[in-house]
Amino acid sequence: MRSIRNGKVDKVLLFAVLCISLFGILFVHSATYDPINYPGQLSPLAVKQCIWILTGLLIMLLVTKIDFFKILNISVVLYILNLLLLVLLFTIGGERFGARRWLILGPISLQPSEFVKITFILVLAAFLGERRERGGSFSNFFGALFIAFPAMALIFLQPDLGTALVLIPILFSMLFICGENIKYMLAVIIAGLSALPVLWNILRDYQKTRLMVFLNPNLDPLGAGYTIIQSKIAIGSGGLFGKGWMNGTQSYLKFLPERHTDFIFSVIGEELGFIGAIGLVACYALIFIRGVRILYKSTNIYERAIAAGVITLIAFQVFVNLSMTIGIMPVVGLPLPVISYGGSGTITALIGMGLLLNISKRTSR
């Protein structure tokens, strides 16, 4: 244990995390700046984002110092508590835009579906690690599906299709890394694709509209297609070098909705241009590469499973968010990790980074 405590964290990964944290503060401020009511000051939302990022970084550092297996030992309890919070949303959850996703605790809004991404990774890693001698068996695969189903169902019913979908690639990546049977995974994928006509019928009307608008944004240019059209205009108008920080007209003139949350990458593209956007993508790519390196150097199944889950979580959200802002994927409401405004999502992503840094200490001994 002394050698683990004295292990060195991956400094390159830590640097990349600090870079995207700074990006988050700068562009939440740019997207929400109010020169009339708060001239020369951080906007209230930017102040909150600063607090959440600092809180998340402190938790991240704490996670790097905790004995790895102490976290796994309480993973079942954490996951069950998280599921109970998801159930609680249906009775006392705050409603926004027709969805019950937030628990209102005084001045703080808690989004349990964000934290379930981490608790799910932990409990699945514990399950697969404890049953490693049964790797590849149908009982292992079915058990993993049984663990995933309650969270996915509760999140889908909020409704929050995007977050529910995130758990699927996390599940499959962890199963693959732990040596589970690929045939079972392919069977589930084929069954899911075959069920698409049925799934279409259970989608909400606004979810169907988003999918139709993805195929043709001009179908409803002043309604459901408005955001994606404005997002493309913002990114395209940035050109090679952008208009300069806080000089984005789509953001400043408030043409772009959700510019500080799901579509913050559009603000970055407009203000920093192609070069700045590539710089941000490079930071995420660095996190992915270092994460894969940590995964490769991991010495036991628990480390490998958690590393795979966290890497997939970050990579999938980045890919989907960037894809929907440039119009090559439907809008599903997934934030850009650490950069999009939001406390629960920011802290969750930084906890995931803390888990990777924890594993990096163990692999460096």
Q: What does the pLDDT look like over 49-108, one tens digit per residue?
A: 999 999 999 999 999 988 878 889 999 999 999 999 999 888 876 666 556 777 877 777
Q: Tell me how far apart the alpha carbons of residues 278 and 264 are, in angstroms, rounded to a whole number.
A: 15
Secondary structure letter of residue 38 according to DSSP: S
Q: Encoding tokens for residue 269?
A: 């593209």
pLDDT at residue 135 above 70?
Answer: yes
| Strands of 45-137, DSSP E | 94-96, 99-105, 108-110
Least confident range from 111-120, 132-141, 207-216, 340-349: namely 207-216
Work out the average pLDDT over 33-43. Answer: 81
User: 253 by DSSP, 3-state: which?
Assistant: coil
- The model scores a pTM over 0.85: yes
CB 76 within 8 A of CB 10: no
Residue 183: closest CA among 128, 125, 133, 138: 138
Count the neighbouring beta carbons within 10 Å of the beta carbon of residue 279.
13
CB 190 within 8 A of CB 140: no
| Strands of 181-339, DSSP E | none
